[in-house]
Structure 1
Amino acid sequence: MKKSTMILLLALLVVAVIFGMQAARNNTLEQEKNDALTELSNVQAELNTTSEQLAETTAARDQVTADLQMLKAEHELLSKGKEGLATQLTQANNVVTALTEERVTLAGQIEEANKQVADLTLQLTAADQAIAMLTANQEGIEATLEAANIKNGHDLDTRIRQLIADKNAAEEALAKAEGELTALRAELATMEEKLQLALSGGGDVTVLHTNDVHARVVSGGQNQIGYTKLGTIVEQAREAGGTLLLDAGDTLHGMAIAGATQGQSVVDLMNMLGYDAMTPGNHDFNYGYERLKELEKSMDFALVNANILLEDGSHAFTPYVVLEVSGRKVAVVGAANPQMQSAIHPDQIKGLTFAGLDKINEAVESARQEADAVIILAHWGSSDAYDPNSSVLAQIPGVNLVVDGHSHTAFADIKQVEGAALVVSAGQHLEYVGRVQLAFDAEGGVTATADPIAFEDTVDIPVNQAIEDAIIDLENTMSEVLGEVVGKTEVLLDGERENVRTRETNLGNLAADALLKATAADFAFTNGGGIRRSIATGDITRKDVVEVFPFGNSVLVLEVTGVQLLAAMEHGLRQYPEQSGGFPQIAGGTLVFSAANEPGNRVMEFTIAGKPVDSAATYQVATNDFLAAGGDGFDMLKDCPVLGYLGTLDEILGKHITALGTITLTEEQRIVEAFPVEETPEATEAVEASEATESEAQDASATSPETETEAEPEAETETESTPAPTQAA
């Protein structure tokens, strides 16, 4: 029992020891496991840290790579810039070397001239001394001659005469040498100035600009500076420094002095003024593209446009020209509003396409490579009536100045765009001469500052006599051209003031028919106040036609609603039976009205092509630009879309008369009063009072740009948008 117990106890002891050892081993393993987990956690943390560092390193590497690529690109640009600057520096050094050599040559010539003057002065002094000695001894010589030999006296007298002749010759040679010396000194001063400009890189440039002159070349009246005073302004500017003279179009047409020669007379005057460049406007195509190209051959200035193309895609005009002035190269790029195409009769621009901004951008980019500054010379429109207006040109990279026309806008009315190039325009009809100063800094930057010259600034400026004489000669020549017979009339064509302003007349019908025929519109009307005289029976000359419509107003076609057209007729009849400049002379329809009704509600029947006017319909209506811009109070027409432009009223009427040959037209009851008002003494007094008031208004506004008078018909305003043109009431 004891033995088995001992064995059992021993076995238990062994088992306990084994379990103890196993427990200790388990504890050790657990500790090792925990240590391993801790180490694994630490390794994981280190791995995360390393991954983050690797990501940061990768990002840093990418940034360094990008920076390296940027530096390489900048290096390439700087290398190209360096090459360009090296080329410019070489060119400048060549100019300086050439000028220095020329200066040395001139200095040598001046030194030689000074020596010649000194020699001549010595000869002159010797001659004076010899003459003095001979003169002092002359009395003794003469006495001796009387006592001695006459022949010897004759020889001495001959010698004295020869010495005097030699003295005179020496004085003439001295005067000539002094003149040559003065000229050489002046030339040296000019070379010094050129040398300084070359060393400094060049001087500033003055830009004088005009637009929408419409052949108003005569100075005075209706705020027109005219070419005669423009000539003096240009001379003074060029004497003061480097000056460019630019024109933004609509110049070769609009008055009889231009129309009589199809623009050549205006080109000749522009040549005399020394224009440097012009871009064509829509009215410059009134004689047709081919005629404009003929005129270009006689222009001493560049005719530029970058976005009018021929059928094969080539340019219809030179896209740009680079002009050198004050040591600077200034590029002038021509541009036309693509919408301008609809403002020209299709027959005048067959085969031409008006492209968009892409062609203008191409020209600017090319010009920028050749010039220190880039000017866009545009017939585009700077007012809000044009979308987009010419501010879009000012935002083209590399453009320093936009000289604009087409909208007849004065500089003060232009809304500038911050950060874009300056946009300038000079109103219309030479009310202003635009003036811009281009200042160049050492880094190649250009600053443009506008300072336009207004009509009132030119009151005391004298006319340029050469231009004045040329205009007088043109007017004399024009009087011969105006004597051309264009047709014949067997009836008196009634244009008397009291008739065309109160009722239908046969001349009013003829004029309205001419508009209707030329435009193929649905309806045509012109204001009776624009008809200025009658035409007697017999031959009709071009002068007769011009005097009927002396203002140079253009014919255009509007898209008008029935409501607007009815309102226009009501407006024209509002003052009846009193005279009104807005009384309509019509073609293509009939009007029946009653003066017994209140103004604004007088039209009782209104038909076009025999059908009542539909208030919901739209009509193509031919009229003149004076009425289309709201003249004579026709405000309902101001916002009507313009479908097309033609020539002037006198041109359209003259062609119509020629086509008819012989006129037999009478009144046709186109405008009928339904219930005629009997004339009473009160009505007569009212008419006379109205005429007196109107006459006073005309006298008071004779110098105002808002109103025309019969005394100055040549100053009639023509326009395509704001400001509205004017015409005698």
Structure 2
Amino acid sequence: MRAKLRSSWFVLVLVLVTVLSASLPIFAAEIIILHTNDVHSRVESHIPQGAEGEQGGRVRAATLIEEIRDMYGREKILLLDAGDAIHGMNIDNLFGGLPSIEIMNAMGYDAFTLGNHEFNYGQEVLAERILDAKFPTLAANVMREDGSLFAGYSALVKEVNGVKVGIIGLVAEETPIVTHPKNVEGLKFLDPIDIAKRTAQVIRPDVDILIALSHLGLSKDVELAEAVPEFDVIVGGHSHTVLDVPREVNGVLIAQAHEYANNLGFLYLEVEGKEILAHEGFLIPVTADVEKHGGVQSIIDDWNQQLQARLNHVIGTSNIAWDGERASVRTQETNLGNLVADVIRDAVDSDIAVTNGGGIRASIHAGDIRVADVYNTLPFDNTLVVVEMMGMDILEALEHSVRLLPEQNGAFLQVSGITFEVDPGALPGGRVINVKVGENRLATGGYYTVATNDFIAAGGDGYDMFMNATLVAETGIMLRDVMVDYIAQQGNAEAPEGGRIVIDK
């Protein structure tokens, strides 16, 4: 198994062991920080678009971690994760993130901070995951209304090879607008830099090295380094940044390892007293040349079996067939398109909801509805976004939707909360008439909340007008998961009211 690791990166790590250890001052100690961030449930390897082979995944990163522990000695290794770890793929999404927590337990993580996407499960489930973890979850700036810490810990002091290491966890202050508001109701996300200053002043005298475990993003980490020089190291996440070597700002080392466990961050520190005498940092690519870790793979296999059973689970029934055929959803409203749009609007309580017909990829037959049926219909990893738009921009979006009629067009919108007529004989840009939001005519100078998927919100399918909208909430919630929950709650899926898009003959 170990033969495949004898790459240039393995040789570099081996050289560091030999050279740096040989030059170690008599009273100095060495510690190695290994770090990951923004793994987003990639417990298995994946093939990125345009790549030829597999890369990333905790299953391969675990092998590297084990090798480095064997090489240096387990007592010298500190393993950290900077958040957005347990949400993103079906294996986690359908089980509340528990599979990733079990895998991180097996890998022996020492500490973890919360990313914004951890809150996608809601507070109750996230609190259970924090208890399931065999490592502390650190979040110094997230508090309940009564002033208690949501995660239970703001910081950790741990001895690593005789060095007292302090670690402070910091969560993105904008989390309330990048998850569903209900998920963070009653929580306060305080200014991370202010909290870091106050916490560092308390902890710094009692430790040799102070680390910020940050899910703030690189630009905020730079601000943090400038504002809180008590830190020696910031292990970051959130911005998915590739820092091939640590960036030094105001004497503070900032490290980040991109995403999806595509790299394992490696930071060697030579410490004497309360001073870092020397350091060396880089990213170790997690490629297909790295063997999969047998123990981690076994955990994944067990969860994948449960996943297949979950996908076959019947969540509801229907007496009607739901039309998701390509020729239908790209040229006209359909009962399935209406249902998807209604589900989006219901989930976030917006005035209007729209979703592109090209994102609906299959029909659902009458009879039992399984989780897999919804996933086949909505196969993309789209999440719900809410924006505020002017009526004139909404009208422009509707015109863009119908501009190619009668041709099929993936940008054709399925809608909820809004009705309109289309004159296909008119010139593009002047086809949409009689637009109503609810019972009232669309006010071109008015403002409306519009829910959609993240693809459209980012200007996908040519919807540039959405990029001018004001962001209300970037929920991070998967559309297909909301659809599953909705059908499960209804039990019997019934056709929603039609007549939303009337195409004149």
TM-score tier (shorter): 0.7 to 0.9
Q: Aligned residue for 2:196?
A: 360
Q: Aligned residue for 1:402?
A: 234
**Equivalences for residues 651-670 of structure 1 within 5 A:** 651-665=481-495, 668-670=498-500
- CA distance in 2 between counterparts of 1:506 and 1:588 reads 14
**Equivalences for residues 108-147 of structure 1 within 5 A:** none
**Residue of structure 2 aligned with 1:270, choices 84, 104, 125:** 104
**Equivalences for residues 209-608 of structure 1 within 5 A:** 209-211=36-38, 213-222=39-48, 225-241=56-72, 242-317=76-151, 318-356=153-191, 357-382=193-218, 389-395=220-226, 396-411=228-243, 418-419=249-250, 421-440=252-271, 444-445=275-276, 450-454=281-285, 458-608=287-437
Structure 1 residues 216 and 674, CA gap change in structure 2 (3 angstroms): farther
- CA distance in 1 between counterparts of 2:264 and 2:461 reads 28
Shift of 1:204: 4.1
Structure 1 residues 571 and 463, CA gap change in structure 2 (3 angstroms): farther
- CA deviation profile, 1:281-316 (whole Å, cap 9, x unmatched): 222122222322221222121100111112222322
Shift of 1:474: 0.8
Structure 1 residues 230 and 601, CA gap change in structure 2 (3 angstroms): farther
Q: Aligned residue for 2:8?
A: none
Task: With the length of structure 2 as denominator, give the TM-score of the two structures.
Answer: 0.84
- CA distance in 2 between counterparts of 1:452 and 1:635 reads 37
- CA deviation profile, 1:592-640 (whole Å, cap 9, x unmatched): 3344455455434433223333332221111122222233333332353
Show structure 1 runs of 5+ residues with no match: 1-192, 384-388, 676-729
CA contact (8 A) 2:208 2:273 kept: no
Structure 1 residues 407 and 592, CA gap change in structure 2 (3 angstroms): farther
Shift of 1:243: 3.3
- CA distance in 2 between counterparts of 1:399 and 1:649 reads 40
Q: Aligned residue for 1:609?
A: 438
CA contact (8 A) 2:28 2:270 kept: no
Q: Quick one: higher RCO (CA 8 Å, sep 6+), 1 or 2? A: 2
Which amino acid in 1 is paired with 2:131? K
Structure 1 residues 290 and 656, CA gap change in structure 2 (3 angstroms): closer
**Equivalences for residues 135-214 of structure 1 within 5 A:** 199-211=26-38, 213-214=39-40
Shift of 1:534: 1.6
CA contact (8 A) 2:225 2:250 kept: no
Which amino acid in 1 is paired with 2:170? A
Shift of 1:447: 6.0
Structure of greater Rg: 1
Which structure is higher in helix share? 1
Structure 1 residues 199 and 339, CA gap change in structure 2 (3 angstroms): same
**2:174 aligns to what SS in structure 1?**
helix
- CA distance in 1 between counterparts of 2:267 and 2:167 reads 14
Task: With the length of structure 1 as denominator, give the TM-score of the two structures.
Answer: 0.60
Structure 1 residues 413 and 538, CA gap change in structure 2 (3 angstroms): farther
- CA distance in 2 between counterparts of 1:373 and 1:402 reads 11
Amino-acid identity (%) = 35
- CA distance in 1 between counterparts of 2:369 and 2:144 reads 40
**1:369 aligns to what SS in structure 2?**
helix
- CA deviation profile, 1:612-671 (whole Å, cap 9, x unmatched): 333322211111222222333333323533322162112211222133332231672322
- CA deviation profile, 1:155-203 (whole Å, cap 9, x unmatched): xxxxxxxxxxxxxxxxxxxxxxxxxxxxxxxxxxxxxx99x98943201
Shift of 1:231: 1.6
**2:275 aligns to what SS in structure 1?**
coil
CA contact (8 A) 2:163 2:208 kept: yes
CA contact (8 A) 2:35 2:82 kept: no
Give the number of equivalent residue pairs.
474
**2:299 aligns to what SS in structure 1?**
helix
Which structure is higher in strand share? 2
- CA deviation profile, 1:538-566 (whole Å, cap 9, x unmatched): 11122222332233322121122223333
- CA distance in 2 between counterparts of 1:327 and 1:537 reads 65
Structure 1 residues 282 and 441, CA gap change in structure 2 (3 angstroms): same
Q: Aligned residue for 1:109?
A: none
- CA distance in 2 between counterparts of 1:418 and 1:198 reads 26
- CA distance in 1 between counterparts of 2:357 and 2:257 reads 31
- CA deviation profile, 1:362-409 (whole Å, cap 9, x unmatched): 2222332233222211222335xxxxx332222212112223333444
CA contact (8 A) 2:419 2:501 kept: yes
Which amino acid in 2 is paired with 1:319? S
- CA distance in 2 between counterparts of 1:600 and 1:420 reads 57
**2:465 aligns to what SS in structure 1?**
helix
Q: Aligned residue for 1:104?
A: none
Structure 1 residues 640 and 336, CA gap change in structure 2 (3 angstroms): farther
- CA distance in 1 between counterparts of 2:297 and 2:100 reads 13
Which amino acid in 2 is paired with 1:254? G
CA contact (8 A) 1:505 1:667 kept: no
- CA distance in 2 between counterparts of 1:293 and 1:361 reads 26
